[in-house]
Chain A
């Protein structure tokens, strides 16, 4: 592992953070009365699109993964299709989990689903970019000691911190402060975003800090 790797990781993460910041400021140039809280759905969509785009660009530019051996067009198409299906499935399963956690079943379906999309963008999209539609690899990365590169390590950290952020974001909902951001799912989406950003910031630093102790055995 070289320091250049960590540097590349850091730049990639900064780009992701930048895309989130852009998603807050760019729409207000084009759209009137855009704000995160009032037109929350809009922001959710824009943020998801931005983050997905940046992730895809990063994937194409950086290519952290060794690309597969077969490179035929049909293989690529099925791979992309598979990725889409995985993404949709993750959106739906997040939606189901939110409902199980107590999100209203019928009202606010759109809000709940967009939150699921956002969370999938933060977690599933990087996974798909990095690991491809390969459940085995996913399981390996998220099992206790399965990471094989700093990319996978940072993926683990950002994903977990997004989840934890979304989880913590649910805490203010029952409080009686009567703030606009306490409405479902705003606090959770904000929590997930903060968690994601925190993960993006923390993971290069953590890897840099522990670079002496970390050795990845590539197979």
Chain B
């Protein structure tokens, strides 16, 4: 089968995406789940163990509290309450913590410290898998068992005010709710007022059993100005007064009803020193958890330090407190201080219920549960418990009963701790089989790519993919049989859950076919390469082209980057690697420009050192360089010469400016940067000016390649971008400096979308036209440029205003490099591709991205949408995040096709691009597999894995674009190209 090298590369990347998807499915373990979760019938509660005697207590114990109020303050860090800030700004809460009837804890949130998984953890007591981070963007209804589901089943009335996520997670669970959107992160008063305004009436009414309030303001302040902002103090005081209001009202209600109620103050996650969250630093995982109830006994002068507990413990505690069954998937243990005041029999009953639930979960998730130390402890405790109940029922009120009671208690607490721990670690079980299959697919594709590199790069257009040669069909069937046998063996003997085994047989079989076909393709390519190389060696010593310094730098830099991914700090600070590489590239380019502008003694062989031995090898590059440089340097006028000399330095200066725009990574993230300065509300005027200037520069740089119609569309579109930003309040109009009400800017954004689609449509039309009507590559170039400018317009809309200079500088650098470096110095298509890749990566970080989930700008997904729509929002967010690589790659497509000899250049570039993107992915899969027990696997390596996977998907799309753009160049231009090569 013959394939163009572009199409070949594109299909290779597509297969790699499949492999990475399988790997990801195996790598991110399915969370611990109770198997009986589909049926939600109420199981009878475990009866009290009684060791032969008949216990009369088989029902669930009655609720401890009449009413429960949960005040969840988003991003409430532990030191905001327990630290000096708490003393200063939250006097009432600190009083309750220190002297009141309360129990306070520091609840540890497991990463990812993002709101939705944390709400799930609080309410279900289970540990959501890492995949939930991605699903945080669209929170579907929670299927698992939760306290709220149990409360609803028990006929309790639950009221909720606050973040809309809850309403989506628990649809139809609340008798009354008011969801506020966290749409405008810049708003931190209205979101909270929307919650508080209901408070007075709802507290007065008292016709509810559970009230949940989720305050978002603190989180928003953190995102805007960090944890040390003066706004934090004000917000904490506001929260303190709200807590006081609720508490006093609850106390007065209690006086009427004489049954205690529970007030819970908690945070879903903390806040890092920059005010963001998502990772696993101490500041992000430590949240306060304060339980306040008049039923808690507190002797005066009893000072306790908040104990560290798990966030998941709250679900079990709430369930017990409300007299509900504990959620099935909960891995948490009861917070014992809550039941401490109860009679011993009740305490033991509560602990027993919790242990039974945990051990059930353990049985369902671990095949060898009986050997688990927690389970053994539980069995022991249950036996002792039975003895205790027997003694108790015999009305034995001796000391034996008391001492046995404390012993049972201790045994239960130990069992709870061990069970909870082993269940939490159960989450970190990897599905090695799926991971291995995914890695094998990716590695096979990479090997195939690497093996066909010489063929693709040297001969240009076509590649032979030998799939149907009869010699290999035997090998194919053999490999297929062996793989199927392995699959059957693995799946029948697997102990823990395995994704591939759960697939239908047909799909798994298809996968096996793919793996064996790839293997055969590799073997046949390898044999052919070997045969050809021996033939070549026999024929003659062809002058092997030596690599220039630039090639060496590009190779070594790329390889160095790939290797650096093995160190967690280099992953965290990957932007530094790219900035460093791009800077070095610019310096190397400046050296090359010097060399070509001042040929010096280079072309005069009489001055050269003669390496006598390999003079034959040495002469070739001299000729080659002379052939390259002399005509260009002679043709250059004085001005262009200086422009060529200056352009690498201009690019360097631009990169330095961009670098200080957004500090990213972990070490540098807290440093003040220009972006923060611009986004602060005091500098709105400067931001507006800068945004307008950037838009102007973007227009000037992009319009030159467009047709007249799309030029007008571009101008209107960019104007629309500014109007959109003004409408949502990011920037100001010079004639309208006042602060009028903000809207969502739906109309403005949709106005821009119309132009984006229009320009993209024109570009596609031109491309198609050039494909139908002969090979007029002018039309094609214009078409590609129009697609590129459509993407630029979309990027201008999605990027936040302080990032518009990034876009402008990216266009500027592209223009300068095209005009003064790539064209005059006549770089190879492969070199240009690698440079584009490097710059694309650097711009990914210039725009403020990092390898941390927290830096994804989700607001891009809401531009122009008034409700959350999954597909467009995901697409927009992904595009907004990967603007840099996408724009550079589409610029590459245009640049290479605009060159006269574009025939194989574009497909070669496509091949190079595919290769250079898949090498890091394949290496990273192996690295991550070997580092899967590393301390930072969740906080550093896993997010990077997601980024890499997404990058590969985008690469696949870009390669498809390259191939589509290249399609029409198949027939005619090859001859033209060969003619030209012959002529030069």
Residues on A facing B (Cβ under 8 Å): 97, 99-102, 105, 136, 139-140, 143-148, 153, 167, 170, 173-176, 212-217, 219
Contacts and interface: CB of A to CB of B under 8 A. Distances in A.
Given A100-B583, A102-B579, A212-B612, 5 more contacts: A100-B656, A145-B609, A174-B577, A213-B610, A219-B607
Contact of B609 (A102, A147, A174, A175): A147
A97 B600 contact: no
Pairs of residues from A and B, 3 with the lowest C-beta to C-beta distance, nearest first: A145-B608, A174-B573, A176-B569
Interface residues of B, number: 38
Contacts of B598: 139
7 contacts: A100-B653, A140-B601, A144-B608, A146-B607, A173-B576, A213-B610, A216-B609
Contacts of A136: 600
A153 B608 CA distance: 12
Contacts of B583: 100-102
**What DSSP secondary structure best describes chain A's contact surface?**
loop
A6 to B, nearest CB: 16
Contact of A101 (B568, B573, B580): B580
Summarize B's interface: helix, strand, loop or mixed. helix
B570 A174 contact: yes
A1 to B, nearest CB: 12
B656 A102 contact: yes
B602 A167 contact: no
A97 B569 contact: no
B904 to A, nearest CB: 30
B656 A146 contact: no
Contact of A215 (B567, B594, B601, B612): B612
Nearest to A97: B587
Contact of B659 (A102, A170, A215): A102
Contact of A146 (B601, B612, B653): B601
A217 B605 CA distance: 11
Nearest to B587: A97
A195 B598 CA distance: 28
A174 B569 contact: yes
A178 to B, nearest CB: 11
Contacts, number: 79
A193 B879 CA distance: 45
Contacts of B652: 100
A37 B672 CA distance: 27
B609 A139 contact: no
A29 B355 CA distance: 70
B335 interface: no
B595 interface: yes
A174 B595 contact: no
Contacts of B655: 100
Interface string B471-491: 000000000000000000000
A146 B600 contact: yes
B584 interface: yes
Contact of A143 (B570, B595, B611): B595
A213 B584 CA distance: 32
Contacts of A102: 576, 579-580, 583, 656, 659
B608 A146 contact: yes
A147 B601 CA distance: 10
B601 A175 contact: no
Interface in B232-290: none
Contacts of A105: 660
A41 B265 CA distance: 52
B584 A167 contact: yes
B587 A139 contact: no
A214 B618 CA distance: 14
A135 to B, nearest CB: 10
A32 B153 CA distance: 77
Contacts of A97: 587
B569 A175 contact: yes
Nearest to B595: A143
B574 to A, nearest CB: 9
> Which has the most chain B C-beta neighbours within 10 Å: A101, A174, A214?
A174
A147 B567 CA distance: 41
Contacts of B613: 213
Nearest to B651: A100
Nearest to A146: B601
B602 A144 contact: yes
A146 B603 CA distance: 10
Contacts of A153: 609
Interface string B637-681: 000000000000000110110011000010100000000000000
Contact of A174 (B594, B622, B667): B667
B813 to A, nearest CB: 14
B671 to A, nearest CB: 9
Nearest to B571: A174
- Looking at B607, B609, B655, B660, the one whose CB has the most chain A CB atoms below 10 A away is B609
